[in-house]
Amino acid sequence: MLHRRIYQFFIIYFLGVGLLLALKYGLSLSDYVIPSPGEIWRTGRTYAGPYLLAVLNTLAVAVLGHIVSICLATMVAILGRLTAWVGSFIRTAAFNIQAYPIVAVAPIIFILLGDGLASRLLIAAMICYFPLLLSFIGVFSEPVREIEHFFESTGRMTWRLQVKIRAFENIQKLTTVIVGSATMAMVGTIVAEFIAATAGIGYSIRIALYQSDLAKILVALFLIGIGTSLYLVSLEWIGNALQARLKRT
């Protein structure tokens, strides 16, 4: 699974770089507009170390933000399944919050929380929370009638059991949405760093943009791609292991 994701990423990345280089040589553009392969290589050798640390920093915040938003979405969705009104209210609130562009909300967050870890975490969680919440609300408010009916008629149904039944029956769907939102957690963290943080790969990209240094940005994108692929593969592996275990039990 890992090697497949990595080589798929390599294909996409090198196709993109190849296209840029074709444009560069086709239009005779200088290294300022599109760097030469030699410059990309030299930049890669110089900045791979510090950028790798920056990507790991970003990834750590993204994973934490992702976990926070999964917990939060699960809690809200469990509450939201109580009545149709609460569910619809939470959905409306989630839509409204998501409608605000993060670049407009971020400065307020940074004023309140400063430019440290808390702000990055919150923005990452905010960006990946929405798709999680919508799917979780859908899953937890949809009864699995054929199973739930048995427990209800025998009077053994509890809210915990109801949640377990619905989660078990939709585990494939939940895994897919968690894996899908992982990339959004990464994107959210990078956006937060780009806007105001002083650490992480988003901050490094911002500095590279100030310096109009596309070679640095290409190196950063390469490492972000590798980091994100590793995270997605890990999530898929956890999801598969969980499904296998549930099926066994």
Interactions with other proteins, residue window 191-220 (CB under 8 A): 195-196, 198, 206-212
- 6: burial class by Cβ within 10 Å (0-12, 13-18, 19+)? middle
CA distance linking residue 191 with residue 201, whole number of Å? 10
Q: Which stretch binds other proteins (CB under 8 A): 56-64, 77-85, 104-112, 150-158?
A: 104-112
Query: Shortest approach of other proteins to residue 202 CB, angstroms?
Result: 12
33 binds other proteins (CB under 8 A): yes
Size of the site for other proteins (CB under 8 A): 22
Residue 27 is a binding residue for other proteins (CB under 8 A): yes
Among 48, 111, 161, 246, contact with other proteins (rule: CB under 8 A): 111
- By beta-carbon proximity to other proteins, the closer residue of 110 and 130 is 110
Distance CA 119, CA 196 (A): 9
19 touches other proteins by CB under 8 A: no
Is the CB of 15 or the CB of 23 nearer to other proteins? Answer: 23
The minimum distance between CB 193 and other proteins, in angstroms, equals 11
Render the burial of 134-146: b for 16+ CB within 10 Å, e for the rest. Answer: bbbbbbbbeeeee
Distance CA 128, CA 191 (A): 12
- Nearer to other proteins (CB atom), residue 128 or residue 196: 196
Residues 52 to 81 in contact with other proteins, rule: CB under 8 A:
none
Q: Which CB sits closer to other proteins, 134 or 195?
A: 195
> How near is the Cβ of 70 to other proteins at its closest, in Å?
30
Asked if residue 30 binds other proteins (CB under 8 A), the reply is yes
Q: What angle do CA 24, 28, 33 make, to 5 degrees?
A: 50
Residues 130-189 that bind other proteins (CB under 8 A): none
Nearest approach, Cβ of 117 to other proteins (angstroms)?
Answer: 15
CB nearer to other proteins: pick between 43 and 229? 43
Of 22, 35, 62, 21, the C-alpha closest to 219 is 35
Alpha carbons 68 and 126: distance in angstroms, whole number: 10
- Which of 211, 240, 233 is closest to 59 using CA atoms? 233
Number of Cβ atoms within 10 Å of the Cβ of 58: 30
What is the maximum span of the chain, computed from C-alpha positions, in angstroms? 77
Q: Which residues bind other proteins (CB under 8 A)?
A: 27, 29-33, 35, 39, 107, 110-111, 115, 195-196, 198, 206-212
